[in-house]
Amino acid sequence: MHQVCPHDCYDTCGLTVEQEHGRIVRIAGEKGHPITQGFACLKVNRYLERLNHPGRIVHPLRRTGPKGSGQFAQASWADALADIGGKLQDILRAHGGEAVLPYSFSGNMGVLSEASMDRRFFHALGASRLARTICTASADHALRWVYGMGLGPDPETIPEAGMVILWGSNPAVTNIHEVPLLDKAVRQGAEIVVIDPLGTETADRYGGHLAINPGSDAALALGIGRHLVESGQYDADFVRLYARGFEHYRQRAWPWTLERTAEATGIPGRAIEHLAQGMARRAPLLLRTGYGVQRQVHSGESVWAISVLSVLTGSHRHPGGGHLLGNGGAFPLNWDRLTRPDLLVSSPRTINMLQLGNALNQEGSQPVRALVVYNSNPAATAPDQGQVLAGLMREDLLTVVHEQMMTDTACYADWVLPAAMAFETLDLHTSYWHRYIQLSEKAVEPPGEAVSNTEFFRRLARASGFSGASWCEDSDEELVRQALDTDHPWLQGITLGTLQREPVQKVRIDSRARPFLDVARSSERPFCLDPLPVPEYFPVPAPAEYPWALITPARKNTIKSSFGNIPGLLSREPEPAIYMHQGDADRLGVRPGDMVRVESPEGFVEMRLWVSARARPGVAVSYAVRWNSDGGGRNVNQLTSQSLSDVGGGSTFYSTWVSITGMESGED
């Protein structure tokens, strides 16, 4: 049976699932899938451990001990819904809908699971709206500014590239089905350059690594742009025909001489010059940007400046050329029918998910009095963890968590309701990298009393006073039909019925059609080079009291906190660890295996220190994100800030500075 991996990953893999006697017994990459091509990642290859984990929550649980203690007793759905529904109605009468806050992200990226019945419920409630900005908000804003929408070249054209720049992208860990495409490009003569503060697995594979100073991406992109223009190597005809705002761009880029760019980025001027020459001469040029580039203070400016390089080089002239950050814009679903914004009867406030700690500890006229968490584990993944945990400890906060496991957040809940896993539900899946839409039908029934996200919110709606409302009665099949109810040509002929017969279908965009020239063209001059209205990037030296830049990239064996309780996947790094350059360890006077205290203005955490050649001097690395129980009740997000990026309200995880001090010696 065809299934789809639901996790927050570029690949959105097609899977083959086999079941016997109502239990899934085998999960593998689908051989006939155009992207997956018969192999899956390390995590999915261990997915049976997750499905059959002894810690799965299969019945409603009521808290019986202090918040955070993890002490619960089994209860019935009827008792849970009566209690939650009654309390929500009391909160609505006394304080209004804004006192209720949903918190979710992409723990399950199925269209129905991520954004359908839940949005209807909170719209009807008049709840505070959540700005879901933790991952892509700054990049999305910058892409819309330059291109008009989030659309990139078809990844299946990568082998045609003459040069690929992997800028803050580590597909060997986060996008493994891109690797065969890159390998084919190399065999056909392509040059691959990796721009990353760390020596990644991808840099190991392809070489061409430029070790950039953390947070200086805007400087490098502007420096390359100035050199292209100044040396006459940019595609002046393409810019004249298709772009606007060139003179304003020149003004922003002109201070970034090769010398100043080299000083800011740590990359020698000769290497920057060589990179610019390659970008001008090798075609098709593909700029492949990762989302890590925009998890910093100057997120928007960085993505804007990189995007402009795709225009200056005329890379969009060629099929397969241009800028690939994502293809989320390739799926024009009928979101209004699915999420029903018409149910809103007011204009409630918006709370940024990155500032959950502030929201839960707010004093004043309208504190958050009820928190409903699903598809997320903010006690582990939200920044400024100390503030988040303090807010979750509030006895006057009703916290309801719909979950599969007893996560860090679930431990603080008043009620934990059992959630089905993806293979136990019907869902529709798009991708933010490739262009295939997929239907994943239910393979088996969920265990115990677990229910899908959509069923959870149907039940919660009825319990909260909306029984009989038509919007909360639509079946999952009807929700899929509504999502696909569009006359957009890119989804022409794709319906629930056709997907049931052919569950993997490509959207109706020619792979060789050039974004913004042949498709999705907004005007005769579709590219905007005008600088974003944000403060200009300026190098800031490391604070004397916090001399290390902390990078917290994705780990190979988890996806953020998902899979964080699978022992077989954590065996390579059984306890929280931080990695630094040998020279930094020597100067600090610590040895591999020592425990160290890592501290920022927000908090501290204790970790095991190891030396790694992947870390450059002045940069510390801790792969994100562990469950708090692994680190004595805290993880690396004790160190990160609720500060927002320059545009879009995005995250600044990679703009964290820390001090590191030794605590004890490890074994000799």
542 pLDDT higher than 60: yes
Q: Does domain 61-134+331-506 have CATH number 3.40.50.740?
A: yes
pLDDT tens digits, one per residue of 491-526:
999 999 999 999 999 999 999 999 999 999 888 999
**Other beta carbons within 10 Å of 19:** 14
Strands (E) in 507-655, as ranges, are 527-528, 548-551, 577-580, 595-599, 604-611, 619-621
Long-range contacts formed by 439-442: CB under 8 A, 24+ apart:
439/2, 439/4, 439/480, 439/496, 439/499, 439/500, 439/503, 440/2, 440/3, 440/4, 440/6, 440/110, 440/503, 441/1, 441/2, 441/3, 441/500, 441/503
Kind plus residue range of the DSSP H or E element containing 306 = helix 299-312
Question: What's the CATH class of domain 548-664?
Answer: mainly beta
Q: Say if CB 651 and CB 135 are below 8 A apart.
A: yes
Using CA atoms, how far apart are residues 48 and 19, in angstroms rounded to an integer? 11
pLDDT tens digits, one per residue of 310-335:
999 999 999 999 999 999 999 999 99
pLDDT tens digits, one per residue of 140-162:
999 999 999 999 999 999 999 99
Residues 366-394: what's their mean pLDDT?
A: 97
Residue range(s) of every CATH 3.40.228.10 domain in the chain? 153-325+512-528
Assign residue 660 a region: left if phi > 0, alpha if psi is -120 to 50, beta otherwise? Answer: beta
- pLDDT of the residue at 485: 98
Residue range(s) of every CATH 2.40.40.20 domain in the chain? 548-664
667 pLDDT higher than 70: no
pLDDT tens digits, one per residue of 340-363:
999 998 899 999 999 999 999 987
pLDDT bracket for residue 666 (50, 70, 90): very low
Kind plus residue range of the DSSP H or E element containing 102 = strand 100-103
Closest residue by Cα to residue 645 from 497, 556, 537? 537
- List the end-to-end C-alpha distance of the chain, in Å, as a whole number: 52
pLDDT tens digits, one per residue of 269-297:
999 999 999 999 999 999 999 998 999 99
Q: How many CA atoms lie within 13 A of 219 on its CB side?
A: 21
Residues 236-255: what's their mean pLDDT?
A: 98
665 pLDDT higher than 60: no
- pLDDT of the residue at 363: 73
- pLDDT of the residue at 664: 65
- pLDDT of the residue at 571: 84
CATH number of the 153-325+512-528 domain:
3.40.228.10
Residues 412-425: what's their mean pLDDT?
A: 98
Residue range(s) of every CATH 3.40.50.740 domain in the chain? 61-134+331-506
